Structure 1
Amino acid sequence: MIVQLKGLKVSKNITLEFMDEIKIDYIFYGITQDAETEDYMMVLNDKCKVCKVKCYAIHFQQNFENWTSGNNKIDIFIQGSQLSAHYDVTIALEWIPYDKFYDVKCIANGSYRANWIDEKILSYWDVKNQNWKKGVQNPFVTLKRLNNPENIALELTNEINKSYGITQNPETKDYMMVLSDECKKCNIICYAIHFQQNFGNWTSGNNDIDKFIQSSQLSVHNNANKALEWIPYERFINIEYVAKGGFSKVYKANWLDGNINYWDNEIRHWKRGNQYMVVVLKSLNNSKNVTPEFINEIMLHNKVDDSYFIIKFYGITQDPETKNYMMVLDYANGGSLRNYLNTNYDELNWKIKINYLYNIASALESIHRNELIHRDLHIGNILKNNDVTLITDMGLCKPADYNSSKSTKNNVYGVLPYISPEILRGQNYTKAADIYSFGIIMYEIISGLPPYHDTNHDNSLAIKICQGLRPMFKIKVPKLVLYLIKGCLDANSLNRPTAIEIRNKLWKLKLQREIKEEINDNLPISNIPLISSSYKTHSEAIYISRLLEFNNLPEPKNSDDYYEYDDNIISTKFSESLQIDISQLNINEDGKLESLQIDISQLNINEDGNKIKSN
């Protein structure tokens, strides 16, 4: 029988060397000794113990002594990949001498484009020629500096390109990954590869933002529309100030280039559409000092890309004067839904209102299905575009330089009327908190009135909301709609419906005749005065996101007759019992009542804030 005799380099380490050979999966017969050299030698079967044949791993192993990278860890890593390639040669890496590359050109910091003189390994061992069968003469490859030779596996795992092997620049002594132009996931030169090859041609000036944009680009393979871009500010013209938000300023502009559609192989460049398209530039306050935590919040917006009812996010730019970063978003021609209601409420019928709510619920269902939470859902973050409504500003209810390590439990960011009682008391945001916000939006779209527009948005209102106060309708509302809103506004977050339940109920409302019959008994729409002229907003009613600090708020509760009272969200009796002139109360900085300046007996109010019967 034919066997292989392999010398033991150091007989003292016979156990270690023996174990190394076992890892190679040889069949081990025993040990012998060369009579002339007196070297001890292992007697090995020339077949793989796993495959029972002379597989690819054996051919690679027999060539180990013919090369070295000069780095033991790199040698072991390459050898390990080759020894695991029993039947699949494509998973094996090579040590490739640097002189096998020519026309080496720098394409980014630490990355180079080159031609590989040798052919790349294909799929089998040529028994006749006793060598590897190769193909693809002079392929283009990318040489990318290996930043951490101590952890090669991690770098290669995070690399989007297929890897052929490792080489070393003889001048810089840098070890480099030899990467193909093909994506490991797609096995083709996909969109992600085209984006990656351009990384060295742009920077936002902020490492976290660069990584965020690059990550979005590397995640797209066959749909370039989902990738974000770094867009130079000079690519925008006709920039006009539109409005101010809680932590941002909004501008309208024309984007000269338009958004990416696909890669054009003929011109070797991105094919774009919608040149001079109208977009929104949302300038994030203090974002020149943007924190990684805030970048993670922006990432949420880009994660949900499967809903037609979430505003499109194209990329990021930077105002050269303020240095603040700006989100580039799709333009909604109807503006905010709040502004639209102010001027067009009298034109809306029930069908339109339910359709708007269905759009918002669909977007919220998509957000929650992706295990995300909006956290700042209010009508200022609902936009109108033609006949649909869209959600925007996902998770952006904090300043760009927000640092959670410096915040306190009682810090709440948002618009008070839309914040659920448990969040006001300092609990963590949940999907149920978004549902509460949606319930307030339902009230607003149906009534046309901003919630609590006639009162101060202060600690007193926060207390009353926790005690069970909810806004009241001044019009008759179908019971099916009323009960859905009540469910959303329940003080117990566990009782609130899910987004998909809300969406499905609204879909049925769009189709059922029951609601149409009930609506026929409602006040004619023509008898409802123009909302914009029928209400006045309190000077301290604030509808932009801000920092709210509350202490010692009462436990959230519903009014005693919450589900018994079926003509409104809340009974008039309960609402009136909470209408205390807060200016008559002495409340300290912690929100605790110190003394009363009014005769409490005249109000007949119990400790929970509910009105009780008098004797």
Structure 2
Amino acid sequence: MDGHLRRAADKRLVGFPEINYDELEFTGEYLGAGAFGAVAKANYLGKTVAVKRLSIGERITLNDLQQLRREVRLHASLSFPNIVQLIGASTVPPRLGIVMELAPYGSLFDILHLPRVAQVREWVCHIHRINQTEVGMLYLHNHRPQVLHRDLKSANVLVFEGWQAKICDFGLATNFDANAHTTTRGSGMRGTYAWMAPEIMRGAKYTTASDVYSLGLIVYEVISGKIPFQDQNLMQLALGLDRGERPLLPTHDLDAPAGGHRLAALMQRCWQQDAGSRPRSRATTAELSSIVASIGGDPRITSTGGATAAVEGHASRSPAQHHVVRTWRSCRLQCGELRRSYCM
């Protein structure tokens, strides 16, 4: 590595805790992977954490290092119940990693699309998670300086104890700048296009309305249980979005669940073609809170045999619930492959 780059890498940074990579004890369990590298489980100072391990290693340039540190500093500046907590980062090449709190139940994408476990989805819990995701997005948009996530999708919403939802992955997030244009990360963004607003596809600037559009696609996943635009390639998706096309929603899915029609109506407002016609974050938060109030109930309490009780009720699991948990764990790696295909 160039001496200047190593000296720059060795400087102590202000704005986030620099972690000694040797103090991370990896368990060998991988939680996900993408163009950036892999997310692995590790122990750090007696605590189980998630580590986003970057694969660039010795190939890192000074510009790459500065970009990594900008991401970490931005994440470190955010403190809110619905934002994943940053513990620190190792930014001294060649071993690079971002250390975060561990989400025991994976991502919302895992929960919605996990093979053989998707059928145990719990409607009330999902509405609460959408509401919490929106509250986290509202926090970002109200932050000073304002933060645009720019890569909001179900894979970037992690689920914690009590089924609390938190937004993660700020590799594309930016402090809002009126002169900031869109950026790309090459093939690493190919799956993210499915959650991308039509104006961004056309090369327009990111705005809060772009994040609101992405929220609408997450709502679609919850209502339909499907990955948006799953059967379309990038060209088909781009042309369809330019014509105002959106994923088809089976009407029968809206009849049974409480709040289904209101949630679908909010989804359609969020993904309107004209960015200026989409609701602001505060308005979507108010509507989601109203939907939550209308359905009532604690998202942590479900009917007998429900998915939440199966995962959280360790002391009183029935044999059937133990089976659900075993199935959940055995399918995590399968879902990682599915998520890599569409979300990385």
Q: Deviation digits for residues 53-93 of structure 1, max 9, x if unmatched? A: xxxxxxxxxxxxxxxxxxxxxxxxxxxxxxxxxxxxxxxxx
1:366 equivalent in structure 2? 139
- Asked if the contact 1:438/1:488 (under 8 Å) is kept, the reply is yes
SS in 2 for 1:480: helix
> How far apart in 2 are the matches of 1:498 and 1:206?
45
1:543 equivalent in structure 2? 342
> How far apart in 1 are the matches of 2:32 and 2:278?
34
1:207 aligned onto 2:8: yes
SS in 1 for 2:132: helix
SS in 2 for 1:476: helix
**Residue 303 to residue 319, structure 1, CA distance change in 2 (3 Å):** closer
1:236 to 6, 24, 42: 24
Alpha-carbon offset, residue 544 of structure 1: 2.8
> How far apart in 1 are the matches of 2:203 and 2:188?
7
1:354 aligned onto 2:127: yes
1:339 aligned onto 2:110: yes
**Residue 411 to residue 231, structure 1, CA distance change in 2 (3 Å):** closer
SS in 1 for 2:119: helix
**Residue 210 to residue 446, structure 1, CA distance change in 2 (3 Å):** farther
- Asked if the contact 1:381/1:391 (under 8 Å) is kept, the reply is yes
Structure 2 alignment gaps of length 5 or more: 175-179, 255-259, 297-330, 332-337
Task: Give matches, 1:411-430, under 5 Å.
Answer: 413=189, 415-430=192-207
1:491 aligned onto 2:273: yes
Alpha-carbon offset, residue 512 of structure 1: 2.0
**Residue 502 to residue 231, structure 1, CA distance change in 2 (3 Å):** same
> How far apart in 2 are the matches of 1:511 and 1:335?
26
Greater RCO, CA 8 A, separation 6+: 2
Amino acid corresponding to residue 503 of structure 1 in structure 2: T
> How far apart in 2 are the matches of 1:208 and 1:503?
41
How many residues are matched?
276
Which of the pair is proportionally richer in helix? 2
Alpha-carbon offset, residue 351 of structure 1: 1.6
1:378 equivalent in structure 2? 153
Structure 1 alignment gaps of length 5 or more: 1-203, 217-227, 258-275, 399-403, 515-531, 533-538, 546-615
**Residue 458 to residue 358, structure 1, CA distance change in 2 (3 Å):** same
**Residue 342 to residue 544, structure 1, CA distance change in 2 (3 Å):** closer
Alpha-carbon offset, residue 345 of structure 1: 3.3
> How far apart in 1 are the matches of 2:131 and 2:210?
18
Amino acid corresponding to residue 56 of structure 2 in structure 1: N
Amino acid corresponding to residue 243 of structure 1 in structure 2: G
Alpha-carbon offset, residue 511 of structure 1: 1.1
Q: Deviation digits for residues 240-279 of structure 1, max 9, x if unmatched? A: 2332123231111011x2xxxxxxxxxxxxxxxxxx2111
Alpha-carbon offset, residue 362 of structure 1: 0.8
2:54 equivalent in structure 1? 284
SS in 2 for 1:422: helix
> How far apart in 1 are the matches of 2:10 and 2:87?
14
2:257 equivalent in structure 1? none
1:479 equivalent in structure 2? 261
> How far apart in 1 are the matches of 2:10 and 2:82?
26
SS in 1 for 2:158: strand
**Residue 463 to residue 337, structure 1, CA distance change in 2 (3 Å):** same
Alpha-carbon offset, residue 324 of structure 1: 4.0
Alpha-carbon offset, residue 413 of structure 1: 4.1
Q: Deviation digits for residues 84-104 of structure 1, max 9, x if unmatched? A: xxxxxxxxxxxxxxxxxxxxx
> How far apart in 2 are the matches of 1:356 and 1:251?
24
SS in 1 for 2:148: coil
1:311 equivalent in structure 2? 84
TM norm structure 1: 0.41
2:169 equivalent in structure 1? 393
**Residue 209 to residue 421, structure 1, CA distance change in 2 (3 Å):** farther
TM norm structure 2: 0.72
> How far apart in 1 are the matches of 2:273 and 2:19?
45
Amino acid corresponding to residue 300 of structure 1 in structure 2: L
Q: Identity over aligned residues, as a percent? A: 25
1:469 equivalent in structure 2? 245
1:245 equivalent in structure 2? 34
**Residue 316 to residue 470, structure 1, CA distance change in 2 (3 Å):** same
**Residue 480 to residue 242, structure 1, CA distance change in 2 (3 Å):** closer
Q: CA RMSD in A?
A: 3.1
Alpha-carbon offset, residue 356 of structure 1: 0.8
Alpha-carbon offset, residue 207 of structure 1: 3.2
Alpha-carbon offset, residue 422 of structure 1: 0.4
2:177 equivalent in structure 1? none
Which of the pair is proportionally richer in strand? 1
SS in 1 for 2:139: helix
Amino acid corresponding to residue 234 of structure 1 in structure 2: D
- Asked if the contact 1:412/1:426 (under 8 Å) is kept, the reply is no
SS in 1 for 2:342: coil
Amino acid corresponding to residue 207 of structure 1 in structure 2: A
